[in-house]
Amino acid sequence: MLTNRRHFLAGAGAVGLAAAFPLRAIAQTGGDKAFAALCQRVLEGDMLVSPFDATLLGLDVGDRAPLRAQLGPAGKAGDIAASRHARGMLAAVRGFDRTSLSETWQVRHDVVADMLEKRLVADKYDLPDVGSPYRLSQQDGAYAVVPDLLDSGHPVESAEDAEAYLARLAGFSGYLREETEAQAEEASRGLAAPGWALAMTASQIEAQLAAAPADSGMVDSLARRTKEKGIAGDWAARATKLLEDEVYPALREQRDLVKKLATTTRAGDGVWRLPRGDEIYQDALRQFTTTNLSAEEIHKIGLEQIAELTSELDGILRKTGLSKGTVGERLIALNKRPDQVFANTDKGRAALLESIKANMAAMQKKLPQMFATVPTAPLEVRRVPVEIQDGASNGYYYPAALDGSRPAIYWINLKDTADWPKYTLPSLTYHEGNPGHHLHGSLMLGDKDLPDLLKNYFISAYGEGWALYSEIVAEELGGYKGLELAGARQAWLYRAVRLVVDTGIHAKRWDREKATAYFQSMVGHTRARSEREINRYCVLVGQACSYKIGQNEWVRLRKLARSELGARFDARQFHEVLKEGVMPLDMLDKRVKAWVARVKG
C-alpha cells in the first residue's frame, strides 16, 4: 500500500499532552459517545505530534489551521513526544469502562488499545520503530519524504497556503539537523543501516543537491501551483533563498554524515547485525503480521506456498505454450516478449497508465456482484516522482483526505517500464485500487460513525492481506484474461517468496546477493526490480511478511464461513466485515465467527 512513512513530524505541543487533556474525567465516564470523544483526543494529540498528518487528512483547518505551517522537531525530541502521547492515551483507554460500550465500540476500544501498544514497542530498544529501525536509509528520511509531501500533500489554494508552504520549507533545515544528530547518536550504539543503504541514501541526497536551488522540485512545486491558481507573490525567489541559505546546507551535512557512516557501519544486511537484533526482528514480525509466528515458521510457510503456486503457474504457462525451463525462467522470458512490454519512453509510460485506468473502469462495473456496499470515491493514478523512484516501492496507495479535498492516489514506479509487463498490471491494479486498498479505504472514509482516528488507520496484515485476497475476488469477477491469470499467480508467488527472503535476510543471515538471486529465480522479475525489492526488505524489517500471512487468513476465514453456513453463505455479506474497520488478525477471526453465529441464528 504505502511506502513507510512513520509519524516523523513531531510537534512540540505533544510533550504537554497529558496536561492538555483531562484523561481522568474521560476514564470515569462510559458509553459509546464518551469513547468516541477519547478517540478524538488521541487524534488531536497525533496531529500535534505529526502536523503533516493533519494536512494529509485534511484536518488542518479552523482552530487547527496553524498546523499547516508546521513541521515540528525531529530526532529524539519527536520520539519522546510521540511516546509520551501514546503512553498517556493508552492509560486512558485501559482505564475506560469497556463494559459500558456497545459491541461495535468494544471492538473499536480493543483496536485503539492495540494501536497504542504497538506504538510503544520500539521504546525498549531506543529505536525509532522496530519495523523501520534505521532513521536514515534509502527508504527513510525527511530528505525524501518532506519534499514529496510538500508537493503531493500540502495544498496551495491561497496566499495563506503558500506562506504555510514557505514556513514548512523554512523549518525543513532544522528538522534535517535534528534527524542528523539523532542518527549520529544511534550510530554510536551500532544502530545504522547497512553500508550500501547509506551509500544509496547519500546518492539520493546528492541527486537533490545536483539541481541549483532555483531549479529544485521544492521551488518548482510552489512556483507552478501559485501560478496555476493566480496567487501573486515572489514565491519562487523566496523559496530559492530558503534552499540556498538553509535547506541545502542542512542536506549537505546529512549527506556527509551518511557517507561517513557508510564506511563504518556494521557488516551484514539483516537486522540481526544490530544489538538485540533477533528480538527486534521477532517484534517486527509480531507487529506486521499480528501473529506470534516465529521466523522459522514463516520461512516454512513460504517454502510450502512457493511449491504450490509454482505448480499452478506451471500449468497456466503450459496451456499458453510456455513449457521450456523452470517457471522462473519462463516468466523471465515472458517479461521480455515484445508483446508484453511498453516502450520505456514518455509515450510508453502514458500508454501504461491508460491501460491501468481502463482496467479500473471495467472492474468498477463488476463490484456489485461481490460487494453489498460499493463506494464510488475517485482514484487518481500517478507516476512515482522521478526524484525518489530509485528508493521507492514499485506501487503503493495514498488514502484520500478525510474532508475529500484530496483524492486517493495509486502510485506506480515507472523508472523502467520493463518492470511492468502487460500481463502483470491487472493484479497490481486490483490490489492498489478496487477491490483492494481503494475499496477498503473508501469504506472507512465513508463511515460517518467510525472515529476519524480509525478511518485512516492501517495494519499491514489486515490491509495488505485484504488487498492480496482481493486479487482472488477479482479473478472470481472475471478480471483476468489469458496470461493475466499468470500475472495474478505470479503476484501471489511474489508474496510467498517474500516470506522466505525476509526471514532469510533477518533470521538466517542471507546476504543481499543470495536473497536477490533467489527472488529473481523464483518470481521472474527483472534483476533491477528484484534488487530494489530486496534492498527495501533489508531496511523495512518484517513488513514483507504481512501480505501473504494476511491473505492466508482472509482465505481461511472465508472457507470457514462457507463451511459453517453452507447455502446461507453470501460473499457479498461476508465482505461487509470490512466495514468494521482495521483490526489485528486474531480479532478479525473473532468478528467473522460472530457474523457466522448471527447468520446461523
Sorted by sequence, the CB contacts under 8 Å of residue 381 that are 6+ apart come out as 353, 356, 357, 360, 409, 410, 412
Pairing, β 408-412 against β 395-398: antiparallel
SS (H, E, C) 250-286: HHHHHHHHHHHHHCCCCCCCCHHHCCCHHHHHHHHHH
160 vs 166: CA distance, rounded Å? 10
pLDDT tens per residue, range 530-558: 999 999 999 999 999 999 999 999 999 99
**Confidence (pLDDT) at 175:** 95
542 φ/ψ sector (left φ>0, alpha ψ -120 to 50, else beta): left
**Confidence (pLDDT) at 320:** 84
CB-neighbour burial class of residue 513 (10 A; exposed 0-12, middle 13-18, buried 19+): exposed
How many alpha carbons lie under 13 Å from residue 448 in its C-beta half-sphere? 0
- Give the mean model confidence (pLDDT) for residues 116-132: 96
C-alpha grid cell, residue 266:
556494521
CB-neighbour burial class of residue 333 (10 A; exposed 0-12, middle 13-18, buried 19+): middle
- Give the mean model confidence (pLDDT) for residues 236-252: 98
How many alpha carbons lie under 13 Å from residue 245 in its C-beta half-sphere? 9
Q: Are 279 and 285 in contact (CB under 8 A)?
A: no
Mean pLDDT score across all residues of the chain: 92
With bands split at pLDDT 50, 70 and 90, how would you rate the model's confidence at 5? very low
Q: Closest Cα partner for 585 from 562, 565, 556, 564?
A: 556
Helix (H, G, I), strand (E, B) or coil at 395: strand
Sheet holding 379-383, edge to edge: 379-383, 408-412, 395-398
Instruction: Say whether pLDDT at 379 is over 80.
Output: yes
Query: How many angstroms from the chain centroid is the CA of residue 97?
Result: 33
Tracing cell 471492538 back to the chain, one arrives at 107
- The residues spanned by each domain of the chain are 1-133, 136-267, 282-549
Q: Are 67 and 47 in contact (CB under 8 A)?
A: yes
**Confidence (pLDDT) at 391:** 64
Instruction: Say whether pLDDT at 526 is over 50.
Output: yes
Peptide bond into 249 cis (omega under 30): no
With bands split at pLDDT 50, 70 and 90, how would you rate the model's confidence at 297? very high
Helices (H), 12-130: 17-20, 23-28, 32-49, 51-56, 75-94, 103-119
- Range in 41-50, 385-394, 411-420 with the lowest mean pLDDT: 385-394
pLDDT tens per residue, range 187-196: 999 999 999 9
User: How far apart, in Å, are the Cα atoms of 315 and each of 122, 221, 307, 548?
Assistant: 45, 50, 13, 22
With bands split at pLDDT 50, 70 and 90, how would you rate the model's confidence at 398? confident
- Range in 104-113, 131-140, 330-339, 584-593 with the lowest mean pLDDT: 330-339
420 vs 280: CA distance, rounded Å? 34
- Give the mean model confidence (pLDDT) for residues 99-120: 97
> 247 or 405: which carries more pLDDT confidence?
247
Instruction: Say whether pLDDT at 25 is over 70.
Output: no
Report the share of the chain in percent with pLDDT over 70: 95
**Confidence (pLDDT) at 29:** 62
Instruction: Say whether pLDDT at 28 is over 60.
Output: no
Instruction: Say whether pLDDT at 3 is over 60.
Output: no
Sorted by sequence, the CB contacts under 8 Å of residue 251 that are 6+ apart come out as 143, 176, 205, 208, 209
Instruction: Say whether pLDDT at 6 is over 60.
Output: no
Q: What DSSP letter does each residue of 530-593 carry, written as one string?
A: HHHHHHHHHHSTTGGGHHHHHHHHHHHHHHHHHHHHGGG--HHHHGGGGGG----HHHHHHHHH
Tracing cell 513526544 back to the chain, one arrives at 81
Sorted by sequence, the CB contacts under 8 Å of residue 37 that are 6+ apart come out as 26
Q: Closest Cα partner for 179 from 48, 45, 72?
A: 72
Q: Are 30 and 97 in contact (CB under 8 A)?
A: yes
> 265 or 448: which carries more pLDDT confidence?
265
365 vs 384: CA distance, rounded Å? 27
With bands split at pLDDT 50, 70 and 90, how would you rate the model's confidence at 30? confident
Report the share of the chain in percent with pLDDT over 90: 83
Tracing cell 546477493 back to the chain, one arrives at 513
The one-letter code for the residue type at 36 is A
Instruction: Say whether pLDDT at 22 is over 70.
Output: no
How many alpha carbons lie under 13 Å from residue 357 in its C-beta half-sphere? 13
393 vs 563: CA distance, rounded Å? 38
CB-neighbour burial class of residue 228 (10 A; exposed 0-12, middle 13-18, buried 19+): exposed
- Give the mean model confidence (pLDDT) for residues 397-405: 81
15 vs 45: CA distance, rounded Å? 10
Q: Is the dihedral of CA 28, 33, 39, 45 positive or negative?
A: negative
Helix (H, G, I), strand (E, B) or coil at 477: coil
